[in-house]
Amino acid sequence: MKKISILAIAFSTFLISCDNQLASDRDPIEDKVDSLLAKMTLTEKIGQTAQRGTSSRVKGPLSEELKTAVREGRIGSLINVMNKKYVDELQRIAVEESPNGIPLIFGRDVIHGFKTIFPIPLGQAATWNPQLVREGARIAAVEASTFGVRWTFAPMLDIARDPRWGRIAESPGEDPYLASILSEAYVKGFQGDDLANPSSMMACAKHFVGYGAAEGGRDYNTAIIHEPLLRNVYLPPFQKAIDAGVQTFMSGFNELNGVPVSGNQFLLDQILRQEWKFDGFVVSDWNSVTEMIAHGYCQDEKEAALKAATAGVDMEMTSQAYDNYLGELIDSGEIDLAQLDRMVRAILRVKFRMGLFDQPYRIDKPEVVLSEEHLEKAKNSAVQSVVLLKNDNKILPLASEKKLAVIGPMADAPLDQLGTWVFDGNQKDSVTPLTALKESLGTESFNFVPALDYSRDRSELQFQAAVDAARKSDVILFFGGEEAILSGEAHSRAHINLPGAQERLIKELKRKTKKPIVLVIQAGRPITLENIINDVDAIVMAWHAGTMAGPAIVDIISGKANPSGRLPISWPKSVGQIPMYYNYKNTGRPASAKTFVGIDDIPRGAWQSSLGNESHYLDDGFTPQYPFGYGLSYASFSYDNMTLSSDTLSEGAEMIIRFDITNTSHLEGVETAQIYVQDKVGSITRPVRELKGFKRVNLKPLEKKTVEIIIHTDDLSFYNGNNQLVLEPGEFSVFVGSNAQATMRKDFWIR
Ligand code: GLC
């Protein structure tokens, strides 16, 4: 008996210590959430799930209805309240007059800068520089939080393979590895080191998930993605956002495999919460809950509320299905009160983590907005985002004595150079290329004839003036591209060449003057160049590079800065090639340069099967205009001496890939060395190569450096046909080089 009692005492002591341990492990915020939840009425709980929208363009006094709703605890968050006084008044009402004083979260789309505008995210992705992206996000948070914005609906993490899609401008590009690294940079930049710091701005991983796979690149359209592809390509950047501490997700507009993502329990519950253990909250996209009616997935708003809440949308952005029907659904038992409590608990948890209960009010710091430091950082980001695509006869950098003809609709377009999703940036702060040229070269050193007033301008009335200016010059500097409105949400294009009469103007200039043409493109997407590629001698892709686009572009073309940008997206020859991406499958009949016969080389009366039955286009072949990862420098680099630390790996092992890079030029430059791996045989077909590492290497003239990149067998795991994460034995190849077509290769085995 004695022995048993000793055991019993020991066991109960053990249990008590476990409880104590659990109690000490329990986040104190959970207790605060529970005690607050216990005091809330059903109306207040439903109120927390409501994000009320206002257009930031609305002027005039705050509506009494809105103030009353806040006072009664019927609103949890507000979007687009950009009047500091309104922010302060609404927060004061929430904190001092609502039943439990629960603070509001003020949200805003601060996508690539607030007042100091950085390059569009696709441009920032072209820097391949996560530290720079993180700094830019931090600056955006520091500026926006002074206006009371403590929640941004960014980063947008939608993998995009179709440049017709307008929102490719906001995306991190086509590759999950690069997108995941940028995801972490954005989240840590926006949120800072302490989410409770008033200068922290909570990030939001969006649009969960598959929005970038919209059919035909038509925005909001159907996405069909089989699960292994979803898990291997589209989900990783979102999972990385959780690892980086993101507190909110946004469910998108699109349907995925027949179920709208804002009502998709597989995504919002099984993956996000069961598998990934996400404990922040999910906000719907603008009206995406009630849009499930238009999708034909919900009969009415009541069913939309039921399906969204059941699936895992915690907060409803702008539509009011929750406002109108959650109470009824709870009363009828179609939704358990426990489900609503879980939603509200997630929202309150995040509000506590943001320190809003301790510090609900914004801290005004007007001096940080558009500071010299911020503008310099924005310029640096713009410089590093620029991709040099073509540079025949090394016409760039321009020799200072060259007489320039500055032509084109984007030379002096202060609004358009900011790009899409710039609600708070102001064109009056923009420094355009024309302004920068005047400041650096003086107004006498070039002739400026826009010739087209805006990117879509079809008028040829100024063509002759442009030709005259060109005839008096040595080099034509043509600023072309897209107005900001031609990319971004709902702005997909079926043709993605230079709009308006830009191509005609370029051809006219070439035909009539024979002068060399440097084309500087400012656009929100890759621009097909098939009609003019042979008329221009150099091509510089500057994306929409933000407030400091002008000084950045001039630094690049003058040689003050050496271009280091690399494409985060494959650049197609034509729209007909789309989708064109680097991590494609080999197929059973892969195209080959050895056998390919281009359409102009096909003999008349050719025998039907004489052209090689392989996967290509007779006209546009099988390779992009420029591959993923591509970008030229004014310097030149060579790779050699590639070695692997081992040619056989077992699970859990690491491998060091070592190689030398030599700057073979007399100019300092940055090379972004890239590592691609091919899993040659798999239980499902595997991409011909996947980016698994990269390093930005600065090299002085003629300098050689040995570079090491480590990969781990975990990097080679993938989701198989049964959606299991597996590492499969077999032969692999690793390629090293300056873009996705790298050829330097070593093989190794996983045993
Ligand atoms: C928009 C966008 C989303 C944005 C939200 C709030 O429609 O899809 O990215 O954050 O509404 O403006």
pLDDT of 627-675, one tens digit each? Answer: 999 999 999 999 999 999 999 999 999 999 999 999 999 999 999 999 9
Per-residue confidence (pLDDT) for residue 15, from 0 to 100: 62
Residue 43 C-alpha to ligand 1 middle, in angstroms? 27
Nearest to 694 by CA among 663, 736, 638, 745: 736
Crossing angle of the two packed helices 337-353 and 301-311, in degrees rounded to 10: 60
Return all residues near 159 (Cβ < 8 A) that are at least 6 apart. 171, 172, 173, 174, 175, 176, 179, 212, 213, 233, 234, 237
50 and 75 in contact (C-beta within 8 Å)? yes
**Residue from 168, 207, 284, 489 to probe ligand 1 pocket by mutation (most atoms less than 8 Å from CB):** 489
Domains 109-247+364-379 and 386-558 fall in the same CATH topology = no
Atom of ligand 1 nearest to the CA of 156: 9
pLDDT band at 692 (very low <50, low <70, confident <90, very high): very high
Q: Atom 7 of ligand 1 has which residue's CA nearest to it? A: 286
What one-letter code names the amino acid at 84?
Answer: K
Contact 284, 262 (CB under 8 A): yes
Q: For the chain, what is the largest distance between any 2 Cα atoms, rounded to a whole number of angstroms?
A: 110
Mean pLDDT value across residues 375-391: 98
Q: From the CB of 489, is ligand 1 less than 6 Å away?
A: yes
Report the alpha-carbon distance of residue 70 to residue 678 in Å, rounded.
56
Cα(328) to centroid(ligand 1), Å? 28
CB of 285 closer than 6 A to ligand 1?
Answer: yes
206 Cβ inside 6 Å of ligand 1: yes
Residue 252 CA, closest ligand 1 atom number: 8
What is the crossing angle of helices 337-353 and 28-39, to 10°? 130
Which superfamily, per CATH, for 386-558?
Glycoside hydrolase family 3 C-terminal domain (3.40.50.1700)
Q: Please, what sign has the CA dihedral across residues 158, 163, 164, 169? A: positive
Catalytic site residue from 158, 219, 285, 620: 285
Can you tell me whether residue 97 is helix, strand or coil?
helix
Looking at the CA of residue 318, tell me the nearest atom of ligand 1: 6
Structure tokens that stand for 747 in this block:
């093989």
Tell me the CA–centroid distance for residue 500 and ligand 1, in Å: 29
Pocket test for ligand 1, best of 286, 287, 315 (most atoms within 8 A of CB): 286
Residues 6+ apart with CB under 8 A from 303: none
Distance 344 CA to ligand 1 centre (A): 22
Decide: 407 and 450 in contact? Cβ < 8 Å. yes
Taking each continuous run of H as one helix and of E as one strand, the counts in the chain are: 20, 26
CB of 297 shorter than 6 A to ligand 1: no
d(CA 123, CA 567): 9
**Interval between CA 427 and ligand 1 midpoint (Å):** 22
User: Model pTM?
Assistant: 0.96
Closest CA to 48 of 435, 356, 473: 356
Ligand 1 neighbourhood includes 109 CB (under 6 angstroms) = yes
Residue 40 Cα to ligand 1 middle (Å)? 30
204 CA: nearest ligand 1 atom: 10
Q: Do residues 125 and 373 lie in contact, with contact meaning Cβ atoms separated by under 8 Å?
A: no
Collapsing DSSP to helix, strand or coil, 432 comes out as: coil
Q: How far apart are CA 227 and CA 270, in angstroms?
A: 13
CA 550 to chain centroid, in Å, comes to 23
What is the rounded distance in angstroms from the CA atom of residue 278 to the CA atom of residue 282? 10
- Which pLDDT band holds residue 6 (cuts at 50, 70, 90)? low
CATH 3.30.360.10 fits 637-750, yes or no: no
> What are the C-alpha distances in Å from 569 to residues 121, 171, 208, 561?
12, 10, 20, 23
Do 695 and 639 contact (CB within 8 A), yes or no? Answer: no
686-691 CB contacts, 8 Å cutoff, 24+ apart: 686/585, 686/718, 687/583, 687/584, 687/585, 688/583, 688/584, 688/585, 688/586, 688/590, 689/582, 689/583, 689/733, 689/735, 689/740, 690/177, 690/583, 691/175, 691/177, 691/178, 691/583, 691/628, 691/629, 691/740
- Contact 167 CB / ligand 1 (< 6 Å): no
Nearest-CA residue for ligand 1 atom 3 is 285
Rounded (to 5) percent helix, strand, coil in the chain: 35, 20, 45
Please tell me if the CB atom of residue 301 comes closer than 6 angstroms to any atom of ligand 1.
Answer: no
Mean pLDDT of the chain: 96
**Residue nearest atom 6 in ligand 1 by C-alpha distance:** 286
- Does residue 220 have its Cβ closer than 6 Å to ligand 1? no
Tens of pLDDT along 594-633? 999 999 999 999 999 889 899 999 999 999 999 999 999 9
Give the model confidence (pLDDT) of 116-150 as tens digits.
999 999 999 999 999 999 999 999 999 999 999 99
Q: What are phi and psi of 337, to 5 degrees?
A: -60, -30
Tell me which of 432-446, 470-484, 561-575 is least confident: 432-446
Which SS3 state, helix, strand or coil, does residue 559 take?
Answer: coil
**pLDDT at residue 25 tops 90:** no
Helix (H) or strand (E) holding 731: strand 730-737
Nearest to 134 by CA among 185, 63, 201: 185
How many whole angstroms separate alpha carbon 85 and alpha carbon 71?
17
For residue 314, indicate whether it is catalytic: no
pLDDT at position 180 over 50: yes
Ligand 1 pocket, residue 219 CB under 6 Å: no
Q: Is 291 in the pocket of ligand 1 (CB under 6 A)?
A: no
**pLDDT for 2 beyond 60:** no
CA–CA dist 562, 384 (Å, integer):
9
Exposure of 630 in the CB half-sphere (CA atoms within 13 A): 21
Q: Is 286 in the pocket of ligand 1 (CB under 6 A)?
A: yes
User: Using H for helix, E for strand and C for coil, what is the string for 37-79?
Assistant: HHHCCHHHHHHHCEEEECCCCCCCCCCHHHHHHHHCCCCCEEE
Domain chopping of the chain, boundaries: 109-247+364-379, 386-558, 637-750
Residue 285 Cα to ligand 1 middle (Å): 6
- Whose CA is closest to atom 11 on ligand 1? 286
How do residues 703-717 score in pLDDT, each as one tens digit?
Answer: 999 999 999 999 999
Query: What is the separation, in whole angstroms, between the first and last Cα of the chain?
Result: 56
In the DSSP assignment, the letter for residue 398 is P
Residue 259: strand, helix, or coil: strand
Q: Which atom of ligand 1 is nearest to the CA of 170?
A: 9
Do 246 and 304 touch, CB atoms closer than 8 A?
Answer: no
Smallest CA-to-CA distance from 689 within 672, 674, 707, 673 is with 674
Please tell me the residue having the least CA distance from ligand 1 atom 12: 109
Specify the fold of 109-247+364-379.
TIM Barrel (3.20.20)
Bridge partners of residue 540, in order along the sequence: 388, 520
Q: In terms of DSSP H, where are the helices of 354-405?
A: 372-385
Q: Which of 636, 706, 647 minimizes the C-alpha distance to 669?
A: 636
Distance (angstroms) between ligand 1 centre and the Cα of 77 equals: 15
**Ligand 1 center–CA 175 separation, angstroms:** 23
